[in-house]
Amino acid sequence: MMTLGFVLHPAHSESTTLFLEAKNYLEANGCQSVQLLAEEKSTSIWTGEHHWQAGPDDPVVDAVVCLGGDGTMLRAMASAHRQGVPALGVNLGQLGYLTEVEPADMITALGSILAGEFSVEERLALVARFQVGDGIQSVIAFNEVVVERQVSGHVIRGDVSLGGQRFLRYEADGLIIATPTGSTAYNLSARGPIVAPQLQAIILTPLSPHMLFDRSLVLAIDQEVGFHLDRGPNASVMVDGQVVHSLMPPDSVTISAHPKPVRLIRVADVPFYDIVKRKFRLNEPQSSAGETYGA
């Protein structure tokens, strides 16, 4: 008897249709209960009978299923990580690096979960720490932590430390500190490296650096990354696309590996680089000039 929690895209009508389909299938196959977990920014939890305001703890489940895109999947991963259970993504978005299953295959995937015919892949999570008042606040990231300028036309300036030792002074539009999972997100847009998500590494990529050294660094997970903002303007700290804090000189933020990984359900043995090829359409014929035939 399993309990599966669902996180839905808040504005995608297909997610509701798929949820009802999943609910009927699971309840017909002995699932103890099916509950709709609140997204991080949502307050509503569906129980089959009532709605109520989400408290600090989600209902206890055996696994979390996301019906949405990569953004919704990040919220589902947060719920799963808190409870120490795995998460499965059903792709309703554009890219779908995190959401493995297509809508047409959802019922088959749910059947595999009920039968225990799946594997679990562990992914690195990060934790960002910064001072708020007299205390230290921490926020967990699954894709990346970004320290970024708040004012257009200006750069942020400050020292980066690695493992507690000063490394280099950066002047840039921002800094991305990413997990291997997040290497195909903002890091990729900044021309950072694509890193296999199973690896244990932290990726540091500058955004439009105003300096000669403009390379990404791939670091061991025991290398805590620190950034000390010593000159204005202020900078924003974003975690998985959400602004969580504002840095003012001489504030600092530190980013390190979280001791607990996030766990993703795999129902098909699809190599990561096959996913990359599909998302970038690298399986299509390429001309000598690098253009895709038939485009």
159 tagged catalytic: no
DSSP secondary structure letter of residue 292:
B
DSSP per-residue codes, 6-55? EEE-TT-HHHHHHHHHHHHHHHHTT-SEEEEPPPTT--EEE-SS-EEE--
d(CA 144, CA 176) in angstroms, rounded, equals 7
* Distance set, CA 265 to CA 44, 86, 235 (Å): 25, 6, 36
* Residue type at position 184: T
Q: Using alpha carbons, select from 265, 264, 225, 231 the residue that is nearest to residue 248.
A: 231
Specify whether the CB–CB gap between 35 and 46 falls below 8 A: yes
Residue that has been written with the tokens 């690896």 in this structure:
199
What is the per-residue burial (b if ≥16 Cβ within 10 Å, else e) of 118-136? beebebbbbbbbbeeeeee
* Distance set, CA 74 to CA 79, 227, 286 (Å): 9, 25, 33
Helix, strand, or coil here: 73?
helix
Phi and psi based region of residue 9 (left: phi greater than 0; alpha: psi -120 to 50; beta: remaining) = beta
d(CA 202, CA 163) in angstroms, rounded, equals 12
Residue that has been written with the tokens 């209960």 in this structure:
33
58, 70, 240, 251: the catalytic one is 70
d(CA 221, CA 259) in angstroms, rounded, equals 10
Catalytic residues: 70
